[in-house]
Chain A
Amino acid sequence: MRNLRLAFIPLLLLPLLALTPPESQGAVYSLQAAATTLTMPDGTAIPMWGFADVTPGSGDGIVRVPGPVLSVSPGDTTLVINLTNNLPVPISIVIPGQPVPLAPTYFDDGKGNRVRSFNTEVPAMSGPVQLTFSGLQPGTYLYESGTNQGMQIPMGLYGALVVRPAAGQAYNAATAFDQEEVVLFSEIDPVFNAAVSAGASTPGFSRSSIDYAPRYFLLNGAAYPRTLEISAPVGKKTLVRLLNAGSRNYVPTVSGSFMDTAAPPNPRALTFQVAAGDGKLLPYPRYESALILSAGKTLDAFLDLTTASTPGYYPLFDRSSGSANNGSSPGGMLTFVRSDLPGKNCSPLKGDASGDGIITLADALLALRGLVNNTFVPSTMDVDPDATTGLPCGNGVAEITDVLLILRKAFGMNPY
């Protein structure tokens, strides 16, 4: 039993860790397009089409929606994708906004130049086919299927591409960052996807999207409460790369404030500093609390916490139609910007020593045992509340007060 619990810890600690885009620094990827299933927090299983990274040595082979975050080495401008297609329909890849020449594929029906795929096609159940994208410009881009987009994109064939001119820079030295996060907005209509999944193998299958009505709304493929946190540490400038692969417009909104290091400390509202859109750098940044993330849009926005002196756990949510799971709230496009003090975990969810997602008496006992056996884990057990914000950053000392705080939390007394 103990071994099982310990085994859980690393896996379930993942939600507590900052989201960093899993990516290969190389410019050659092997991707596989295949069917998969996404399960929503309410248990609904939805058929999807996604991309798996099967790059030898670095890919994990798991079919993902959205697909893996792709990138090239800083300064590199060529991306090669060896694409294998395990779906019953032809696919292709386009990267809107990148000035890359396209090689459209036409219907072979003698009726003239009707385009079937905007770019080089990989026929059904075939591959790999080498796709080369050169002359890449820096910025944040969507890669998506260029075939029957009205069907294939809602099914899940999309992902993010990040191109950096130099390490730690978005476009130039003025847009340097300490930390970066990718947040991809997307949506799912379960009825539409079920129909496409069931019928796609039938030759000549088509389905109108006239009744397209998304019920699930995702950030990086997850709906709240499964959304991963965005890390924007105190003292750092964080670049948030926002993308929208859906067909509705969303409005990412941040709420909250921190105390800054000016004396006397002044509160500062969390505000996005929008530096670029669609891979194009603005001549001057715009300051906004709510961003217009239209369908197909990408935005590069900074959360500048370089003068912050207090930690935070700030809501980031869509203010339009995307913050529910099939009508049930809280859900959908809701996550939190986690701003920790250096070297500390200040999340209000802290105290879950067992890593099972809920604080119970068992966690208090684990903390007590940790004290006694000298196996105290500060990142999950050191929960002394920060004086200004009340967040459980901890005081760096393993002591009985931590155990008592976790105990009070387990009884719903909300000490932090």
Chain B
Amino acid sequence: MKLTGRLCWILVAAVLVALSPFRADAHLDGNTGNTFTFVADSGHILLPDGANMLFWGFGSRAVGEGVEQPQYPGPTLIVTEGETITVNLVNKLPEPVSIIFPGLEVLTRTAPVFPVGDKRDLVSLAPEAAPSGGVQTYQFRANRPGTFYYQSGTNLPTQTRMGLFGAIVVRPKSTQAVTAQIPATFSCPPVGHREGTGGVNTITSTTPCTKSFTTSAYTPASPVDASTAYDREILYLVSEMDPNFQHWKEFGGSFDQAKWKPNYWFINGRAAPDTMGMPMVKGVKATSTGNAFLPNQPYNCMPLFHPGERVLLRFINMGHEFHPLHTHGNHMRVIALDGNPLSSTPGTSGVDLSWETFTIGLAPGKTMDAIFTWTGEKMGWDVYDHAAAPVNTPAPYEYLADHAKRQGYQPFTIPLFGAPSPKSPNQSLPVILPTIEETISGLMWSGSPYMGLSAPLPPGEGGFNPFNGYFFMWHSHAERELTNNNLFPGGLLTMAGIVPWPMPGDAVDPATGDNLNAIDEIYSPQM
């Protein structure tokens, strides 16, 4: 079964090299540096149902580059703790624009300007850039690490709905490694095992199982405090649009603002299933695999990680409604709110105030950081199908108590050619499944319920799961938000892919020699 699976996989992989739907990055895409030029301009975004809508957004232009398209959302700024960041705004829109940075230590004026001291004339909450070419400079000091945002401080109800916002990620300046002990209930990877984006984290000892992290969301309070350490990070910035409002801004007519009601929802500027498409990021990697179909929506949201890895989710809500965001597959642990770590004394070792949840109620204007991890712990059966003789070595982070376990519950396997499914010794009633020619598979079904294995599929099916991993839907639990203008699926939906660890003997990409299970080979190092 396994051999067949892997052989099949090689053939499928050869076909898929060109498409490579999952050579998508799970690290943060954005702009680094400490001086940015933002151009506020209008453009169009594309929706999976074929619609396009006007938006207003910020685009970033570096020295020597030409004018860039505005993007939705605005550029993610990735900066380092302690730096002074300058944002030069050039406004090409027909009304004034300004930028505010809630939660960040702004050095330029944070009080509004009231022309002639009349409250009724208030236009912007911060100094503004005049329409049609006006400029304004903002400066802030990235005093503490965390997840923050910027948005327009002018005509807020309109300009934030049009798209004038973006994320700011502040990385800790401390590069001190943080160590954590992996509980003995899990299989310890070998010493030197590289984990995380770019392989930046590693196992340093197996007795006890110890992992060293070089990446943390917040400054580690002590050498043993690994509570905000992570292997991979994902930006999860949600927003909404009411197409009637966007059309009114583009074509005129009338619109009752009190009746604004979204019908499109976005993660990182894209509606599902475009959330799972390829990103388009200029200048980040030497070989840019751009997505020409969504030129103004460069970011995707396609988390891919290995079992046992810690994924940092940077949630930001730039919409105007609350969204209940849910991670299938496991709880996540909320570790920070608005860039403030959940400790009784942030910045020093204090009482741990973090909590576990599987749905966060993300309010508009809030950021939340959470850590997610998956190991298949306590499923009650061996997810790797290690029952076949000889019994295999446990996979990294495999839950040892379930290793080689098959009794009690045997997950269904679709029988070939009309043979009934085998009955497990402890099953009181046999489960007789339809044969393969009578079934329709889910999009991500590899043919086998086991991690890393595939099985024959009917002609034309499959191909969306080249590494035979598990996919969990990470989505808003307000079901209406899973649509694109009434069409399902859409909106606030993406799939988190759990990719089996690369093992010796795995299939490789014939073109590059990359182990197709090695996400690390595909992603550029963390910025």
- A: residues with CB less than 8 A from B are 15, 41, 213-215, 224-225, 249, 251, 253-257, 266-269, 271, 284, 286-290, 292, 312-315, 317, 319-321, 323-324, 326-330, 336, 348-352, 357-360, 389-391, 409-410, 412, 414
Docked Cα-Cα span, A390 to B118, in Å, equals: 18
For this complex, 28 residue pairs linking A to B, each with C-beta atoms less than 8 Å apart, are A41-B120, A225-B122, A255-B125, A256-B111, A257-B140, A268-B105, A284-B353, A286-B342, A287-B337, A287-B346, A288-B340, A289-B365, A292-B363, A292-B366, A312-B110, A314-B110, A314-B111, A321-B321, A324-B258, A327-B256, A330-B122, A330-B156, A336-B112, A348-B117, A357-B118, A358-B117, A358-B118, A409-B116
- A interface footprint on B100-115 (CB within 8 Å = 1, 0 otherwise): 1111111101111111
* Contact between B363 and A255, CB atoms less than 8 A apart: no
Closest to B336 in A: A287
- Shortest CB distance B461–A (Å): 44
Question: Beyond A249-B363, A329-B157, is A315–B125 a contact (Cβ under 8 Å)?
Answer: yes
Complex interface: chain B residues within 8 A of A268 (CB): 105, 143
- Specify which of A255, A271, A315 is in contact with B340 (CB 8 Å cutoff): A271
- Shortest CB distance A242–B (Å): 14
Docked Cα-Cα span, A213 to B350, in Å, equals: 45
* Contact between B257 and A389, CB atoms less than 8 A apart: no
* Contact between B111 and A351, CB atoms less than 8 A apart: no
Complex interface: chain B residues within 8 A of A359 (CB): 116-118
Docked Cα-Cα span, A19 to B117, in Å, equals: 20
> B351 at interface (Cβ–Cβ under 8 A)?
yes
* Interface SS majority for chain A: loop
- Shortest CB distance A388–B (Å): 10
Docked Cα-Cα span, A213 to B113, in Å, equals: 33
Question: Beyond A253-B102, A290-B338, A323-B157, is A284–B351 a contact (Cβ under 8 Å)?
Answer: yes
Complex interface: chain B residues within 8 A of A213 (CB): 258-259
* Contact between A251 and B364, CB atoms less than 8 A apart: yes
> B155 at interface (Cβ–Cβ under 8 A)?
yes
* Contact between A225 and B119, CB atoms less than 8 A apart: yes
> B410 at interface (Cβ–Cβ under 8 A)?
no
Complex interface: chain A residues within 8 A of B346 (CB): 287
> B61 at interface (Cβ–Cβ under 8 A)?
no
Docked Cα-Cα span, A289 to B340, in Å, equals: 9
* Contact between B258 and A327, CB atoms less than 8 A apart: yes
Closest to B345 in A: A284
Closest to B160 in A: A319
* Contact between A257 and B119, CB atoms less than 8 A apart: no
- Shortest CB distance B388–A (Å): 51
* Contact between B361 and A292, CB atoms less than 8 A apart: yes
Complex interface: chain A residues within 8 A of B116 (CB): 358-360, 409-410, 412
Closest to B258 in A: A215
Interface size class of B (residues with CB under 8 A): 35 or more
> B344 at interface (Cβ–Cβ under 8 A)?
yes
Question: Beyond A257-B110, A314-B111, is A266–B258 a contact (Cβ under 8 Å)?
Answer: no
> B320 at interface (Cβ–Cβ under 8 A)?
yes
> B322 at interface (Cβ–Cβ under 8 A)?
yes
Docked Cα-Cα span, A116 to B141, in Å, equals: 57
Complex interface: chain A residues within 8 A of B105 (CB): 257, 266-269
* Contact between A320 and B322, CB atoms less than 8 A apart: yes
Docked Cα-Cα span, A389 to B126, in Å, equals: 12
- Shortest CB distance A307–B (Å): 13
> B244 at interface (Cβ–Cβ under 8 A)?
no
A-contacting residues, B124-141, CB 8 Å: 125, 140-141
Complex interface: chain A residues within 8 A of B119 (CB): 15, 224-225, 349, 357
Closest to B342 in A: A286
Complex interface: chain B residues within 8 A of A256 (CB): 106, 110-111
Complex interface: chain B residues within 8 A of A350 (CB): 117
Most buried by A among B155, B156, B350: B156
Question: Beyond A225-B120, A352-B117, is A315–B365 a contact (Cβ under 8 Å)?
Answer: no
Docked Cα-Cα span, A317 to B156, in Å, equals: 10
> B86 at interface (Cβ–Cβ under 8 A)?
no
> B34 at interface (Cβ–Cβ under 8 A)?
no
> B153 at interface (Cβ–Cβ under 8 A)?
yes
* Contact between A390 and B109, CB atoms less than 8 A apart: yes
Told that A286-B342, A348-B117, A358-B118 touch, could you supply 9 new A-B pairs with CB distance under 8 A?
A251-B364, A251-B366, A255-B110, A257-B104, A315-B112, A317-B156, A319-B365, A320-B365, A329-B157
Number of A-B contacts defined by CB within 8 Å: 165
Docked Cα-Cα span, A19 to B365, in Å, equals: 26
- Shortest CB distance A263–B (Å): 16
> B181 at interface (Cβ–Cβ under 8 A)?
no
Docked Cα-Cα span, A336 to B125, in Å, equals: 10
Question: Beyond A251-B366, A267-B106, A320-B365, is A412–B115 a contact (Cβ under 8 Å)?
Answer: yes
Closest to B125 in A: A315
Docked Cα-Cα span, A289 to B106, in Å, equals: 14
- Shortest CB distance B424–A (Å): 48
| Top-9 shortest CB links A-B | A327-B257, A319-B365, A267-B105, A359-B117, A256-B110, A225-B119, A287-B340, A313-B111, A289-B103
Docked Cα-Cα span, A381 to B401, in Å, equals: 77
* Contact between A290 and B365, CB atoms less than 8 A apart: yes
> B204 at interface (Cβ–Cβ under 8 A)?
no
Docked Cα-Cα span, A329 to B122, in Å, equals: 9
Complex interface: chain A residues within 8 A of B342 (CB): 286
Closest to A214 in B: B258
- Shortest CB distance B526–A (Å): 25
Complex interface: chain A residues within 8 A of B153 (CB): 255, 315
- A interface footprint on B145-163 (CB within 8 Å = 1, 0 otherwise): 0000000010111100000
Docked Cα-Cα span, A217 to B111, in Å, equals: 23
- Shortest CB distance A210–B (Å): 15
* Contact between B111 and A409, CB atoms less than 8 A apart: no
- Shortest CB distance B64–A (Å): 31
Complex interface: chain A residues within 8 A of B365 (CB): 251, 253, 289-290, 319-320
* Contact between B117 and A409, CB atoms less than 8 A apart: yes
Docked Cα-Cα span, A359 to B116, in Å, equals: 5
Complex interface: chain B residues within 8 A of A351 (CB): 117
Docked Cα-Cα span, A330 to B160, in Å, equals: 13
Complex interface: chain A residues within 8 A of B361 (CB): 292
Complex interface: chain B residues within 8 A of A249 (CB): 322, 363
* Contact between A289 and B111, CB atoms less than 8 A apart: no
Question: Beyond A286-B342, A289-B338, A358-B118, is A348–B366 a contact (Cβ under 8 Å)?
Answer: no
- Shortest CB distance A209–B (Å): 16
Docked Cα-Cα span, A55 to B368, in Å, equals: 47
- A interface footprint on B356-372 (CB within 8 Å = 1, 0 otherwise): 00000101111000000
Question: Beyond A269-B105, A284-B351, A324-B157, is A348–B340 a contact (Cβ under 8 Å)?
Answer: no
- Specify which of B118, B158, B337, B353 is in contact with A329 (CB 8 Å cutoff): B158
- Shortest CB distance A67–B (Å): 26
- Shortest CB distance A305–B (Å): 14
* Contact between B258 and A254, CB atoms less than 8 A apart: no
Docked Cα-Cα span, A410 to B111, in Å, equals: 19
Complex interface: chain A residues within 8 A of B256 (CB): 327
- A interface footprint on B234-275 (CB within 8 Å = 1, 0 otherwise): 000000000000000000000011111000000000000000
Complex interface: chain B residues within 8 A of A389 (CB): 109, 111
Docked Cα-Cα span, A252 to B118, in Å, equals: 24
Complex interface: chain B residues within 8 A of A360 (CB): 116
Question: Beyond A390-B109, A409-B117, is A271–B103 a contact (Cβ under 8 Å)?
Answer: yes
Question: Beyond A213-B258, A225-B120, A358-B116, is A329–B155 a contact (Cβ under 8 Å)?
Answer: yes
Question: Beyond A284-B353, A350-B117, A409-B117, is A320–B103 a contact (Cβ under 8 Å)?
Answer: no
